[in-house]
Amino acid sequence: MSVLVGKKAPSFTAPAVVNGGEVVENFSLDQYVGKNHVLLFFYPKDFTFVCPTELHAFQAKLNEFETKGVKVVACSTDTEESHWGWLQMTKAQGGIQGITYPIIADTDKTVSANYGVLAGDYDLDEEGNLIATGPMIAYRGLFLIDKEGTVQHQIVNNFPLGRNVDEALRMVDALQHFEENGEVCPANWQQGEQAMNATHDGVADYLAVN
């Protein structure tokens, strides 16, 4: 696992399904640099159980992300054809019909590997044959990337552990509050609450009233 916080988000070009069914061959996060924050999240596999709950949860909050100028993008190691097929299935059938944000097809697994969320690696056996040392699918990684293309927040969950979309929104609010006001955000901070100046006096003032 690599820590990307404070570093430029790895650049890539890969196929993706956008707008709920349109396949594009050369999708890249570079299109958002200088314009938008990006929330990039990885999930293990199409046609599974926890994964659709997460994809639908991000879709349910998509307007809130977009109002804040944040582009939500998903990624797994499945093919674009698999993504497209899953998008044709209704929620009642276990599908993700209605998802409109881009879903990247990291079929060659390089995006997941570069973001440090690929479960497994390639190795050689005693006969020199290439073998996989794990399932070669993505952990539940999430990366909040600022307008300059720098990773400001990341979490990585194991396969059974679904993420909290409201917490992702809270981290967006905290980052944007800091960017706009220069104030740092204490534990459990919520939008509209008092933050603090990153000085001894500023911390003392905050603690005095909290």
Hey, which residues are catalytic here? 51
Beta strands in the chain (DSSP E): 14-18, 22-27, 37-42, 70-76, 103-105, 118-119, 122-124, 130-132, 137-138, 140-145, 151-157
- Nearest-angstrom CA–CA distance, 54 and 60: 10
Phi, psi of 137 (to 5 degrees): -130, 170
Yes or no: say if 134 and 143 are a contact pair by the CB < 8 Å rule.
no
Phi, psi of 15 (to 5 degrees): -65, 155
Dihedral of alpha carbons 161, 164, 165, 171, sign:
negative
CA angle (159, 151, 175) in 5-degree steps: 100
Phi, psi of 174 (to 5 degrees): -65, -45
Q: What is the DSSP letter of 169?
A: H
- Nearest-angstrom CA–CA distance, 163 and 113: 20
